[in-house]
A and B are shown apart, each in its own frame.
Chain A
Amino acid sequence: ATDNHPKMLKYRCSGCIAVGKSLNSRNFSKLLHCCPYQCDRHKVIVEAEDRYKNELRKSLLCNKKILLTPRRRQLRSES
């Protein structure tokens, strides 16, 4: 029985077994990220997307800093 265990897990990737109404565009990514036994397919996609998101996040943060710095200073001097 113990021999079957890893094999079973291999086929229990949340992204692969979950069907039906509960899943949608809003919760799917979180579901995959929480899945401790992602299949190869989902692992590769998640990793690639995460890399893309990180790069975007970085560039967004840079933009935000530039936009927010003057405003923050203003608020501080008012209080």
Chain B
Amino acid sequence: MFQGQRGWFCGSVGEELRQFWVDEGGSISDPRAADFLFSCDASHPDTLRIYQSLDYIEDNATVFHAHYLSAVANAEIKNSVTLGHFILPPECLQKEIRRKLGNFIWEQDQHFQIEKHYEV
């Protein structure tokens, strides 16, 4: 699924998810060269560095929550998971966003384990 894709992982991302990325054909790279930026914690120093980078300011770097990968791992059809629902905004914005929209999708993570698509 991630063949030929380069991923950068914040120190906050667990080994399991990193391994899944590699198992699916992805490679690990530095943040400048990465196609995907994954983090589990917007306040982690690694991720903060992304938010303060020129790439981010110029709309060239969206950080995604690494739970995207566990959603992919759990999905029946792997490329049916909407990447766009896993945007990880800077910590200082999360409270405001949560107030307007409710919890983020990665905060409802249990649903991924329970929710399954049964064939009718």
Q: A29-B59, A53-B57 are in contact. Are A45 and B35 (CB under 8 A)?
A: no
Interface assignment of A41: CB less than 8 Å from any CB of chain B: yes
Q: Is B64 an interface residue (CB 8 A)?
A: yes
The 8 Å CB contact of A19, one of B56, B63, B79, B89, is B79
Complex contacts, B93 vs chain A, CB 8 Å: 48-49, 51-52
**B90 contacts across to A, CB distance below 8 A:** 49, 52
The answer to whether B84 and A18 have CB atoms under 8 Å apart is: yes
- In angstroms, Cα B74 to Cα A62, docked, is 47
A14 neighbours in B (Cβ, 8 Å):
84
Task: Determine the interface band of chain A, counting residues with CB < 8 A from chain B.
Answer: 20 to 34
B89 close to A49 (CB less than 8 A): yes
From B14-22, B95-103, B112-120, the one touching the partner chain is: B95-103
- The reply to whether B101 and A40 contact each other, CB–CB distance below 8 Å, is yes
Note all chain B residues with C-beta closer than 8 A to A19.
79-83
Consensus secondary structure, chain A interface: helix
Of all chain A residues, the one with the shortest Cβ separation from B60 is A26
Residue B110 is within 8 A (CB to CB) of chain A in the complex: no
Q: In the assembled complex, which residues on chain A have CB atoms less than 8 Å from the CB atom of B61?
A: 25-26, 29
Interface CB pairs A-B, < 8 A, 18? A15-B84, A18-B83, A19-B80, A23-B83, A24-B36, A28-B62, A28-B83, A29-B60, A32-B84, A40-B101, A42-B84, A48-B97, A49-B89, A49-B93, A51-B93, A53-B56, A56-B51, A56-B57
| Contacts A32-B84, A45-B97 supplied; 5 other A-B pairs, CB < 8 Å | A15-B82, A19-B79, A25-B64, A51-B93, A52-B90
